[in-house]
Chains A and B, each alone.
Chain A
Amino acid sequence: MSLKMDRASMAFTFKGGMLPMTVMELTSGDPERIRDQLAGKLSQSPAFFQHTPVVLSVEKLDEPHLSLERICAVCRANKLLPVAVRGGADPVKQSAWALGLGWFPPQELRTRSLESVTPPSEEPVEQDDTPAAALATPTGRIFRGTVRSGQQVSAQEGDLVVIGAVNAGAEVLAAGNIHVYGALRGRALAGIHGDHEAAIFCRELDAELLSVAGNYKRLEDIDPRLLGSTVQVSLSEDQLAIAALT
C-alpha cells in the first residue's frame, strides 16, 4: 500500500503521548498485605479508586517469582486497573505478558545514559537526576509577546521562556524553569510535575503568585522590597526563596 494514504481512509494514526500515570511501588509481594493496605486507602479517598490505571513497580522487590496474578486480582477488586509492570526479572516480565500487561524496564536503566556503566551507589539523588531530567525534557517552549489576562501559557515539558511581560490575571506554567524577560505580574508555576529543582526568573517581580513544585507564595507574602526588581525564585528546604539577581 502506498504511503500517501488518504486521511479519510486511515483507521488510526500513531501519536506519541505522555500521560499522567500512577505508579504503585510495591515493597511487599504479599497479596494479603497489599489487600489490607488498599482497603484502608479506599475508605480514606474513595474518589481515587475509579478504575484508575496503575503501573505496578516491582523494582524495590527482590523476588524473582511474584504471584503477579493474585496481586492484580487484589488491585482490580479495589478498583485499580493494573496496565503494566515496571522492573523485575525475566519470569516477572513473562508473567506480565501472559496476563496481558505491558512491561517497562526498570527506571534507572531507562533514564541513565547508555554509556554510563557505573554501579548503583548511594549517591545523592539529584546527581543522578540531573542528566535524566535534561534528557527527559529536551524541549521547552518560547513564547514571544505579552501573556495577557485570562491567557494560560504552559510548557508540559522543559522550560518556558516568555519574551515579554506576563500581565495580571495571566498564568504561566512549566514542568521545568520559567524565564520571563519582562515584568511578571500574573501567576507563575514552575516544576508543575514536581521538579523541586525548578526555578523562576523574571526581570521585574510583581507576581500574583509564585510556585515551585507546589510550594507557593502570594503577592502578599513577598517581601515588598523585592517588588519591581530582577529576581530568581527557587526552593530551599521546601520554602520558596526569592533572591535578587545582580
Chain B
Amino acid sequence: MAKIIVVTSGKGGVGKTTSAAAIATGLALRGNKTVVIDFDVGLRNLDLIMGCERRVVYDLVNVIQGDAGINQAMIRDKRVENLHILPASQTRDKDALTSEGVEKILDALVEDFDYIVCDSPAGIERGAQLAMYFADEAVVVTNPEVSSVRDSDRILGLLSSKTRRAEQNRDPIKEHLLITRYNPSRVDGGDMLNLDDICEILAINLIGLIPESEAVLRASNQGIPVTHDQKSDAGQAYTDTVSRLLGETVPLRFHEYQKKGLLSRVFGGGRR
C-alpha cells in the first residue's frame, strides 16, 4: 500500500515542484518504489525539473479520459530505478481533472508503489484541492516570508477539512512543514522571518529546512533534481528531509549563520 504525499503551499513560486522532485528522487534513492504526479494541469513543469520533458507522450488527463493506460503515461526516470513520473497536460486546464478520475489513478498506483508524491499547483482551487484530497501526508512548503506563511496557514486549514481523511473522520493527514529558501544571514539581518517564528505560527512538525542555494536553480535548469547534487547544501538538506519522512531522527542543519570557510561549506557546516 503506497503512502500518498502531497507537496503543497498555497502560494506560487515557493519551491513546490523542486521539492516534489527532490523528495521523490530521495525516496527512490533509498529503495522505495516511487511515482511523482504533476497536478499542475496547464502549467506543466515537473517534467522539466525531472529532465524528462522530451519523453512525454501521454499525460494525466489522457489517463483520466481513458485515452491512455497508466503504464503508457508513466515515464521511467533515467537516473534512479524505482522512480516514475506522471506528467500533467500542458494543453488542458484544471477542469479536466475529476475527483473520480484522480481516485481511479491513485487506486491503480497504490498497490504497486511505496510512495505516491503529488505535486500540487499553486492556489486553493480545484487542482490544488484534488492534489491534496486523497493524501495521507502533506508537505507544506513555506518561504520565510509573511505572505507565504499566511498562505500555508490557509492550506493547513483546508487539509484539515477538505480532504478524504477529514470527510471520512479518519486519522487526520500528517502535516509536515518544509521551509525552503532559508537564508540565515538575511534572517539575522531581519529581512526574513526566523525559523522559530514560522514554526510557532504554523504549529506543525518541521520536516526540513532547505537553505537558499545556487544549486537549486542550477538543478532546475539542468533537469536534475537537486537531491543528486550531494555536494550542495540544498541537496544534503533534501536528503535529511527524506530521512525524516522515513521516520529517522536527523539533526537540523543550515539554519544558523556561519562565516563561510571552505571546509564548512564542503562539510555542510551548521552542526549544532
Contact = CB atoms under 8 A, between A and B. Distances in A.
Interface of A: 146, 148-151, 164-165, 167-170, 183, 185
Contacts of A146: 153, 156, 202-203
A169 B150 contact: yes
A151 B153 CA distance: 10
B150 A168 contact: yes
Contact of A169 (B154, B158, B200, B202): B154
Nearest to A186: B153
B157 interface: yes
Nearest to A146: B203
Contacts of B158: 150
Given A168-B150, A169-B150, A149 B203 contact: no
Contacts, number: 33
Q: Which 7 A-B pairs have the closest CB atoms?
A: A148-B157, A149-B153, A149-B154, A150-B154, A148-B153, A151-B157, A146-B203
A233 B102 CA distance: 49
User: Which residue, B156, B157, B158, has most C-beta atoms of chain A within 10 A?
Assistant: B157
B201 interface: yes
B153 to A, nearest CB: 4
Q: Give the contact-size bracket for chain B.
A: 10 to 19
7 contacts: A146-B203, A148-B154, A150-B157, A151-B157, A165-B201, A167-B201, A168-B150
Interface string B202-214: 1100000000000
B153 A169 contact: yes
Contacts of B154: 148-150, 169
A15 B157 CA distance: 30
B153 A168 contact: yes
A164 B203 contact: yes
A183 B199 CA distance: 13
Interface in B128-156: 150-151, 153-154, 156
Nearest to A169: B150
A150 B123 CA distance: 13
Nearest to A147: B157
Nearest to A150: B154
B74 to A, nearest CB: 35
Given A149-B157, A165-B201, 5 more contacts: A146-B153, A146-B202, A148-B160, A165-B203, A169-B154
A167 B155 CA distance: 13
A159 to B, nearest CB: 23
Nearest to B156: A148
B191 to A, nearest CB: 20
Interface in B171-227: 200-203
A243 B156 CA distance: 33
A34 B91 CA distance: 66
